[in-house]
Amino acid sequence: MSTTEVLRGILKSDGSLELEEKPTLPAGPVRVTVESLPAKSENVWTVLERIWEERKVSGVTPRSREEIDAEIEQVRREWDDQQQEVERLQRESCPSKE
């Protein structure tokens, strides 16, 4: 005799399934049919809180202010170096009027 139970859940990007509630079926082999449902409408704050919690659980730590500032400074230096190289090449390629 087979018993059927319909549960809601979330299919995650890694293919795992997170159920909203624990099934009442006994442990053992089951057949799972996945049906796409309309996404719940979440406000921006709820989405951000969910993202923060998922990142926290997965062990992702946000960059510090110092790390961000250092990266910005590095990018600025790289752009300055690139701009100086562009200007040097322009000077070298233009004939002097002197």
pLDDT 10s digits, 36-89? 888 777 889 988 998 999 998 999 888 999 999 999 999 999 999 999 999 999
Copy the structure tokens of residue 19: 């159920």
State the DSSP code for 14: T
Beta carbons of 8 and 37 less than 8 angstroms apart: yes
pLDDT 10s digits, 29-47? 989 888 888 877 788 998 8
CA distance readout (Å), 89 to 14, 52, 86: 49, 46, 5
Please give the model's pTM, rounded to 2 decimal places: 0.42
Domain map of the chain by residue range? Answer: 63-93
The contacts of residue 25 (CB under 8 Å, 6+ apart) are 3, 5
